Amino acid sequence: MPVTITTRVDDKLVKLIDDIAGEEGMDRSTILRRFLIKSAREWVMDKSLKEYEEGKISLWQVAKRCEMSLWQVIDETAKRSVYVPYTLENLSREIGSLNE
């Protein structure tokens, strides 16, 4: 069920939002919802990729958190030049599991 959220913003930001809404042919509320969705998803992606770089979570976990496919996340890591914490030890472990 939708919830109403209120916040105060300065006049410059309201003008910018209204200009964007006019340019897009949408109302202010629709533009704000889109901005909030995009910003929240970006925040989750940033936080998840940081945790991935720190070795705290896997790419699969990033994909699940971000509601994306693994391949989409891999593409995103390439675009952002994310450090991949993959070591020779990881490779050796994976090769060993193939031999089993």
Domain assignments of the chain as residue spans, ordered by start:
11-99
**CA atoms of 37 and 83, how far apart (whole Å):** 26
Please report the pLDDT score of residue 100 as a whole number: 65
pLDDT mean for each 10 residues of the chain (100 residues): 91 97 96 97 97 90 95 93 80 73
Please report the pLDDT score of residue 87 as a whole number: 75
Residue type, 35: F
Please report the pLDDT score of residue 7 as a whole number: 92
Q: CB within 8 A of 52, min separation 6: which ones?
A: 58, 59, 61, 62, 77, 82, 85
Among 73, 70, 75, smallest CA distance to 49 is for: 73
Q: CB within 8 A of 59, min separation 6: which ones?
A: 52, 70, 73, 74, 77
Please report the pLDDT score of residue 79 as a whole number: 94
Q: The pTM is what?
A: 0.77
Among 90, 79, 85, 75, smallest CA distance to 50 is for: 85
Please report the pLDDT score of residue 44 as a whole number: 98
